[in-house]
Structure 1
Amino acid sequence: MALFPSVVLAAGRLPTLPGAEVQVTSARIIDSEFDWGRDGVDCPACNGGDGNSRLAFTDAFYNLWVAHVDPLTGDFIPADGKGVLVDTMAAFATDFGNGPEWALSQLGSQLVYTRYSVPTVPPTPADPQTAELAVASQSGGLWLPMALDQGGKKQSPLATQNAEDPVPLVQYQDLAKVSTFWRVLDAPVTQTRVPVKGYNAGSRRWVPGTHKIILSARGLQDTLASGFRSVFLYDTDTGALTQITNEAANNQGAMMWRAPEYSGDFVFFTVRDGRQLVVYRQVGSGDGPGGWAVISTVDMPAATPYVWSPEYFIHDGRSYIFFQMNPTNDSSDMTQPSRIGMVGILPENAALVDLTPANAPDRVRMDPEYFVGPAEPLEAA
């Protein structure tokens, strides 16, 4: 069984084999992230001429790399992803559970990530107590890594991707993965703790076009979700925190966006009890549980009943959710093959589609990402 393969599911590239898996690299690339060119708008002139069709990842030797993506084929350039070395002290994706992430603002594309303040030579493990927040920016064609002021003993930053913002906002956690914070990237004085309890990584995102965070945390007392994980919205502009799911079930892995097929209404999905994908649409003016209605529930196949790493993309005016389908609820189990699924959010396309070809070899397919080419989306896993 191949571990951590990087593949592209590209019907446009192999028109006689719809859904065929095309391996674009045999390199050990874990948790690669695509720049904003993944949304189908290739801009070679952007970012000082370096373009926006790019990927970033950290290797097991603490090296942070940026490479390019061929928007027509999904090929990595170079194939091993080691295009430009950005930093030599970046945390590996499995050190804290996440690798580098792209940030977008009026400053262009930047990278936010966890790095170590003390150099470490593998195989000696880095000291997690030396972890700090970092940002890498391009200037004159060069990548310049920099630790964020007062970012020590913090990890796993996620940045907004609002091109109209002067600078990005960033959210992150303490080393214990108990507390979540946010701040303006270059203004440590703005650091604010998100007022939730029981949160421990893996389920927090920015809502595109807003300064809101959607995340999972322990349900409020005197609600049905008390004692369970529930989905919350936190508005960094106002400080308002709202619980938006309320049921005796664990809900995690939520993402929210404006759905073009529903006239721009907000929708979000969550994973209920690790097995069921549930999609909600906003039906009222408020953010509370009464302002949302379930529009779709999707159960996983019996052979692969667990959902991991769900994300969404928008293509040709429609929203799609894609995810990893596992036979085990242990995300760190690399002994069992997994598959990649996708659903739409309209009644006519909400049925689960298995994107993994029936005759494909068994592989551990992890953390799928999308890249929209000129004709159709490409999936990387």
Structure 2
Amino acid sequence: MHNPFLSRRCRDMLTPWLLAGALGLSLFSPLARATGPEVQVTPSFVIDFEFDWGRDGVYCASCNQGAGNARLAFSDGRHRLWVADVDPDTGSFVPADGQGILVDKHAAPATTFGNGPEWAVSAQGSQLVYSKYLSGQPPTQNTVGLGLASTVGGQWTTEQLSDSLQRISPIATMDLGSTIPLIQYQGTDRINTYWRLLADGAEEHPITVPGYSAGARRWVPGTHQIVITGSDTAGLSQVFLYDADTGAVQQMTHERGSVSGAMMWQAPEYDNEYIFFAVVNARTLVVYRQLPDANGVLSWQAIQRTALPAGYPYVWSPEYFIHNGRSYIFFQMNQNPVAWTLNSPSQIGMVGVLPENNALQNLTPDTNTVRMRMDPEYYITSQGPFIYYNRFRAQGTASPGNSEGVWRVDTGLGPALSSLTRGQ
């Protein structure tokens, strides 16, 4: 595939902001406080839920054979895979506990292999990929493989893809116009990772990135490329770009620290150039853009560095969304470097990627309610973007016993402007 990143033309650095970014300067933004209250979506234990493509603010009631695209999916602790609706206006789950349609009784819970079901979006409609056990056999690492759920005639059908035993945690491309969706996934050893076409019997290809070991791996929208963490020659975790079409690998970060949690997208505020973010040493959120170096050669350079406040210094689970022509990154802000601990509180933060909107916002500033908030996801309703997350009382172990269910908070960005397509 043609590399879209290297083909971007050099941009003149017209502002001090871009000049500072090209030099990799630290551009810290002060903490701003959001005013919207937290709202409980459901008291039920709905963990690692994933939204269908309606979350981008483009509601399509007729899509997916009339089932629409405003949906969520998750797998529970009893190996059941569920699909429920999302009200595109209120953001409510329908039904509230997420148990709308029972799709499969042999799905691995997210807590078993570290990831639950993921949506696969293409010209074929919305499908689900997940870790699926063979029916009639005990759920073990030897009976798990790649599951695929599709709707046929308005009914869900499921299968375990052939030649996929001991393969887990698939992530699919999500391009509406694509006729050939791809998936990437891991072996049960959590070391090796692979990709293949989302088709039964497709050939498996190893992803050859140096030093990869169960780190971040994300498809780049609109491409067959993956941003993935590996190790450099010094043994530090860095971000690499892997091309599934050519097998080419490019190291994109060269930080003096460990880098994780990368995602890449086309940013409308930068003329739809690709940019990406990553987290350095678990504390600093960095945004990178291709700019000319001193010799006029394009290279990935930091244009924004956001350090978290002293009370919540650790970044975890960052993602992005686009709304009204602007990109926003949201994430957990943790007191503890161990992201999944329930013994110390965390908040939900958000930043933009332009000088005028890059102030770090705390979307959940209630310090009187000590809570652990984890795994944030976005959904753009008719009211604007909401951030959803699981909330726990900060005590005990990660179980339904101390879960307070799913909560959300309004980003305060407001509804889509009439002159712009929602989600764009």
TM-score normalised over the length of structure 1? 0.89
C-alpha distance in structure 2 between counterparts of 1:36 and 1:114, whole Å: 21
C-alpha distance in structure 2 between counterparts of 1:360 and 1:69, whole Å: 30
Alignment of 1:198-217 (within 5 A): 198-217=211-230
Give the structure 2 partner of residue 319 of structure 1: 327
Query: Of 138, 146, 170, which residue of structure 2 is paired with 1:157?
Result: 170
CA offsets, 1:350-376, max 9 Å, x none?
Answer: 121000043662222110000001231
| Larger RCO, structures 1/2 (Cα 8 Å, 6+ apart) | 2
Structure 1 gaps of 5+ residues are 1-16
Alignment of 1:115-194 (within 5 A): 115-119=132-136, 126-186=139-199, 188-194=201-207
Q: Secondary structure of the equivalent of 2:212?
A: coil
Give the structure 2 partner of residue 8 of structure 1: none
Q: Secondary structure of the equivalent of 2:112?
A: helix
CA offsets, 1:148-206, max 9 Å, x none?
Answer: 11111011000000111113100001111111100111054432111113222240000
The change in CA–CA distance for 1:41 and 1:215 in structure 2 (over 3 A counts) is same
Give the structure 2 partner of residue 77 of structure 1: 94
Q: Secondary structure of the equivalent of 2:374?
A: coil
RMSD, matched Cα: 1.7
C-alpha distance in structure 2 between counterparts of 1:305 and 1:94, whole Å: 25
Shift of 1:130: 1.7
Shift of 1:246: 1.2
Q: Secondary structure of the equivalent of 1:261?
A: helix
Q: Secondary structure of the equivalent of 1:47?
A: coil
The change in CA–CA distance for 1:325 and 1:359 in structure 2 (over 3 A counts) is closer
Alignment of 1:12-51 (within 5 A): 18-51=35-68
Larger radius of gyration: 2
TM-score normalised over the length of structure 2? 0.80
Shift of 1:274: 0.6
The change in CA–CA distance for 1:128 and 1:260 in structure 2 (over 3 A counts) is same
Shift of 1:264: 0.7
C-alpha distance in structure 2 between counterparts of 1:293 and 1:211, whole Å: 23
CA offsets, 1:216-235, max 9 Å, x none?
Answer: 0111x3xxxx2100100011
Give the structure 2 partner of residue 63 of structure 1: 80
Give the structure 1 partner of residue 22 of structure 2: none
Give the structure 1 partner of residue 353 of structure 2: 345
Give the structure 2 partner of residue 240 of structure 1: 248
Query: Of 110, 119, 124, which residue of structure 2 is paired with 1:107?
Result: 124
C-alpha distance in structure 1 between counterparts of 2:131 and 2:57, whole Å: 28
Do 2:35 and 2:363's aligned partners in 1 also have CA atoms closer than 8 Å?
A: no
C-alpha distance in structure 2 between counterparts of 1:28 and 1:168, whole Å: 31
Could you tell me which amino acid in structure 1 is paired with residue 246 of structure 2? T
Q: Does 1:354 align with 2:379?
A: no
CA offsets, 1:88-124, max 9 Å, x none?
Answer: 1101101111000000111100000001125578xxx
Do 1:249 and 1:272's aligned partners in 2 also have CA atoms closer than 8 Å?
A: yes
Do 2:290 and 2:298's aligned partners in 1 also have CA atoms closer than 8 Å?
A: no
C-alpha distance in structure 1 between counterparts of 2:127 and 2:356, whole Å: 38
Q: What is the identity percentage for the equivalent residue pairs of Structure 1 and Structure 2?
A: 52
Do 1:177 and 1:199's aligned partners in 2 also have CA atoms closer than 8 Å?
A: no
Structure 2 gaps of 5+ residues are 1-33, 390-424
The change in CA–CA distance for 1:340 and 1:119 in structure 2 (over 3 A counts) is farther
Q: Secondary structure of the equivalent of 1:111?
A: strand
CA offsets, 1:14-67, max 9 Å, x none?
Answer: xxx942111010000110000000000111100000000000000010100000
C-alpha distance in structure 2 between counterparts of 1:284 and 1:141, whole Å: 51
Shift of 1:140: 1.2
Query: Of 263, 268, 288, which residue of structure 2 is paired with 1:260?
Result: 268
